[in-house]
């Protein structure tokens, strides 16, 4: 529940949910449903203590001294870091969309390319990061441009596998817009393949999810892929 989040994570969730041009202060101060009897600080302290104790146990297990100067603050920092990196669990999809779906007589492909993201692999809790490219063909309804990077952010800030995240982005747009088709391509570097195991720097994993016309019509899928291959104008 969002009311149980540390303040810095509540602010991050609000930033993902809140459209540019809306009042950030209002979004951050907005009442959250289901407020409990304990204060945010007390709830944060209760959950944080468990995480911090677990981090201390890990430090001891690997032969470190959690009380030495460089590590005294590490359990608290790790607690705050994971709360921030998993803030996507707490984003309200309805607040994210916020009515930004519009009736428009447009039926050609819409493509948003090279959306950067950072996520955590659920197998080793190591980062994977890269870019997502999202396309859809409207059926009389379009979504505000800035919402698509926010959708990517919502799913990236969770414990993930790249395949699932790719499909979740596609399914979200498909469910909300009812378009003629959706295509998503995600390319990422996984530190679990770079720092451990196979240890192959530069390895890039590519995943895709295609729905509707992107799945059934080769020409539509080829058009999407051609958009991804074109150089981006930075001017």
**Is 108 an annotated catalytic residue?**
no
pLDDT in tens, 189-207: 999 999 988 788 888 999 9
DSSP 66-81: TTSGGGTTHHHHHHHH
**Is 90 an annotated catalytic residue?**
no
Residue of 7, 8, 53, 123 marked active site: 123
pLDDT number for residue 183: 98
Helix axes 147-156, 162-177, angle to 10 degrees: 140
pLDDT number for residue 15: 84
pLDDT number for residue 232: 73
| CATH class, range 99-229 | alpha beta
**Is 124 an annotated catalytic residue?**
yes
Residue of 15, 40, 64, 124 marked active site: 124
Domain residue extents for the chain: 2-93, 99-229
Pick the CATH number of 2-93 from 1.20.120.530, 2.60.120.200, 1.10.286.10, 3.90.1150.10: 1.10.286.10
**Is 162 an annotated catalytic residue?**
yes
Question: Which residue stretches of the chain have pLDDT < 50?
Answer: 20-43
Burial class (CB in 10 A: 0-12, 13-18, 19+), 126: middle
Closest among 22, 36, 3 to 13, alpha carbons compared: 3
99-229 has the same fold as 2-93? no
**Is 121 an annotated catalytic residue?**
yes
Residue of 15, 84, 192, 227 marked active site: 192
Q: What is the pTM of this model?
A: 0.85
pLDDT number for residue 207: 98
**Is 227 an annotated catalytic residue?**
no
pLDDT number for residue 26: 39
| Cβ-based neighbours of 75, under 8 Å, separated by 6 or more | 51, 52, 53, 55, 56, 59, 66
**Is 168 an annotated catalytic residue?**
no
């Amino acid at each position: 529940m969002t009311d149980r989040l540390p303040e810095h994570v509540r602010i991050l969730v609000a930033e993902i949910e809140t459209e540019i041009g809306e009042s950030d202060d209002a979004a951050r101060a907005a009442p959250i449903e289901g407020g409990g009897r304990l204060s945010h600080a007390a709830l944060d302290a209760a959950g944080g203590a468990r995480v911090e104790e677990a981090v201390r146990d890990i430090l001891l297990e690997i032969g470190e001294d959690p009380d030495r100067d460089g590590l005294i603050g590490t359990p608290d920092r790790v607690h705050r870091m994971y709360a921030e990196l998993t803030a996507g669990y707490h984003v309200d999809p309805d607040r994210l969309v916020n009515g930004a779906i519009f009736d428009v007589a447009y039926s050609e492909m819409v493509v948003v390319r090279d959306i950067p993201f950072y996520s955590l692999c659920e197998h080793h809790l190591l980062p994977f990061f890269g870019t997502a490219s999202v396309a859809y063909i409207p059926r009389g309804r379009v979504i505000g441009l800035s919402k698509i990077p926010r959708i990517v952010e919502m799913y990236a800030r969770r414990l993930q596998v790249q395949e699932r995240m790719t499909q979740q982005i596609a399914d979200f747009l498909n469910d909300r817009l009812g378009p003629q088709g959706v295509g998503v391509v995600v390319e990422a570097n996984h530190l679990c393949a770079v720092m451990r195991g196979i240890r192959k720097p530069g390895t890039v994993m590519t995943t895709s999810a295609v729905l509707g016309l992107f799945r059934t019509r080769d020409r539509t899928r080829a058009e999407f892929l051609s958009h991804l291959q074109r150089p981006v104008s930075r001017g």
